[in-house]
Structure 1
Amino acid sequence: MASSIPSKTRAYRFPKTEGIQSLVLEEGPVPQPKANEVLVKVHAVSLNYRDLLIASGQYPAAIKANVIPASDMSGTVISRGEDVKSWQVGERVCANFCLDHIYGDATAGVMGTALGAGIDGVLTEYRTFPAHSLVKAPANLSHNEASTLPCAAVTAYNALLGPRPVKAGEIVLCIGTGGVSVLAAQIAIASGAEVIITSSSDEKLEVVKKLGAKHLINYKTHPEWEKEVLKITNGRGVDHIIEVGGPGTFDKSIASVRVQGSIHVIGFVAGLDEVSNVPMKVLQKGINVRGILVGPRSSFEDLNRLIEANDVKPVVSKVFPFEQAKEAFEFLQAQKHVGKVVIQIAED
C-alpha cells in the first residue's frame, strides 16, 4: 500500500487573512505518520461560517500563521504508525473538530487543538492525524455527506442530546437553514420532536419541509417571527432553540422559548448588535442558556450511531472540485445554500 502514496500533496493556505481572495494553493511533501498517527487521504471537506471569519481575520481566537483552513473532512486511512492498533488501511474516517477532545468537557488546552485556526486544518489532499482523534464515517453516507459532520452535526447533536436532551413530542426551533440548523432539524425529527424552522426564502423552506420540518416561517415576510412561534405553540413557547443568530436574534429567541426552556447558543450569523438586559430576561423565564463548543469524540460516535440507525442524510447544497475552493468560500459567503457546502478532493 505504501508504494501508492505520492510524495507531494497540495494544500490551500491563508498567508494573509484579508478575505477569501487571500487563499492560495501550495505544494509540499506528504507527511509521514508518527508512531501514534495515521495518514489520511482526504476525499471531501465541508465549510463552516467559522471559515469565513478566519479568512477575513475576524475569528475570535488565535489563527496560526499561513494556516491551512477548514475543520471538517472525510477520508480514507492509507498508512499508519507502528503503534496504531485502532485503524486499518482502507477505513473511512472523519477527524474530530478538536483533535484532543475525546470525552467530557473541553479545556483551554483541548480547544487549542481545533482544526483550521490555531493548528493547520484539512483543506489538503493528505494529512496525518493522531489515531485518537478519528471516528469511523457512517456506513450510510458518502464522503461528501460525511464531511459535513465534525463541526455542524456534532454541535447540533450536543445541543439537543447534551445535559437536557430533547424528548419525543417536544418542539425545537431552528433559526435559519444553514448547516447547524438543518442538521439540528434532522436530529430533532429522528428523536421524535416537532420542528419549527425559519428562513429568508420560501425555496429554502421547501427543502427543509421535505426533511420533515412541520412549521416554516419566512422571517422576511414575518419580521416579528417570535409572534408566529408563539402562535404555533399556543402561547407556550418552544422547548429548545438552536440559536445561531447570536445578538441579532437573541431577544426574539428569549420571547420564543417556554418558561424554563433551553436556548443553545452556537453562532452569531445575524450580527453583533447589542442585546440589553439579558440576565434579567433569562432569570424572569428561568431559561437554560448554554454555549456549545462543538463536542468530544464520544459525542461524534453517538451521533454516527443515530445517523446510521435513522438513515439521516445531511443536506449538501453544492459540491465544488478542489481547484474551485475559492468559489466554494464565495458561495458560502453569498448565503445561497441550504445545509452544507462541500469541496470534493478525491472520488469516493
Structure 2
Amino acid sequence: MPAYLDHAATTPLRASALAAMTEQLQVTGNASSLHTAGRRARRVVEESREQLARALGARPSEVVFTSGGTESDNLAVAGTFAARREADPARVRIVASGIEHHAVLDCVEHLVTHEGAKVTWVEPDELGVVSAEAVRAAISDDPGSVALVTVMWANNEVGTVQPVAEIAAVAHEHGIPVHTDAVQAVGHVPVDFAASGVDLMTVTAHKLGGPVGVGALVARRDAVLTPLTFGGGQERQVRSGTLDTPAIRAFAVAAQEAVAELDAEARRLVALRDRLIEGALDLGYGITVGGAWQPGDATGRLPGNVHLLVPGCEGDSLLYLLDAAGVECSTGSACQAGVPRPSHVLLAMGLSAERARGALRLTLGHTSTDADVDAVLAAIPTAVERARRASGWAG
C-alpha cells in the first residue's frame, strides 16, 4: 500500500461517516417534500444541522449547507460584496490576504475584472502569518470603501494558523464583516465560530473524514448575502438546490467525531509531524521548513502539516519520484497540482521563485502511522538526488 501523505487535499472517509451515508442512501426522500418520506429526510437534515452546529460552536440556524468549500467561499465573498455594494455603492473594496486558497483568490479577481471591485492584498510575514495590524493598516486607507475582509483560518500549504479573532475585532471596529476559510482548520485545531467573532466561515466535509461534495457556509443571522444560484431557496433563501441528505448526515457525523477526538489526535499527529520534519532536516540536502514551526506546537501550525523546501529540485519532479517510490504527497494546493509555477503562498511570504519551486507538502491525517513517516524518510534521499540530476543543479 502506498504511504498517503496528502490529507490536506482530501482525507479518507471515516467508518462512522460511511455507515451513516450508506444507511441514508437506502432511504428515499427529498427534504423539501411535505409527505412522510420528505419529512423524514428533513428531520435527518435538521438533526445533522444541529450536530454540525454544536461541533462548530454555532447556532443551527447559522449553518447553510453547500456543495463544498469552493461554493461556500464564493457565496461568502461574492454574495457579501454584492449585498454590501447594493446597500452602499461606496463599498467597492475587498481586503484579502495574499495566501488565500484559489477558491477565494479567483473569486476576488473575478469581482475585480467583472464587477468593479477593488482589492487590497494583505501580505503575510516570512512565516506565513497575516497580522491583525496589517489588516488594520489595509482598512485604514479608506474604511468606508471596504465591503469585506477575508482571511483564512489556517493555510492549506504551509499550515500556518492565523489570528482570526484579532482580525475580526479590528474589522468590526469599522463595522466591516469578516469571512474566514476554515476548511483546513476544522477538526484539526480548535474552531469556535461564535467565539471567533467572524461573520462567515467556510467548512467542508472531505477534509475531516466526510464525503466529497458537501460543505457549509456558517453565516451569522444578520449576515446579508446576495444569492449566487436561484431556484427553491432551500437554505435561508441564499442557496438553492435539493439537499443531499446522505452526504449531510455523513458530514455531521464526521465533524462530530473529528472534533471529539481533536486533542488526542492533535498530540498524535504533532509527534508524527515533528519526527518527519526532524528526520528530513537530519538527511541534509539543505532542506528547510516552510512556515511557522516549533517542535511540539499544535497551535501556530496545523498538527499534520509538513512543508519542506528542497534546494536544487523542482517540486513536481520530487512529487513524481516519491510517487514512484510509493509515497503520495503534494507540492501545494491540490487545485494547482501540475501547474509549473511557484506557489503564490510562498511568493507572498517573500521566498524567491527559485526557492519556492522546491516545495513539498506532506500532510498527515487520521489514518497516518509511523510507517508512513518511515516510508517518506526512506524515499527522500533517492528522490532528491535524482531530481537534482534532472535539474542540472550544481550545488
Measured against the shorter chain, the TM-score band is 0.3 to 0.5
Using structure 2 for the length normalisation, give the TM-score.
0.30
Structure number with higher relative contact order (C-alpha < 8 Å, ≥ 6 residues apart): 2
Determine which structure has more spread, i.e. the larger CA radius of gyration.
2
Give the number of the structure whose residues are more often strand, by fraction: 1
Using structure 1 for the length normalisation, give the TM-score.
0.33
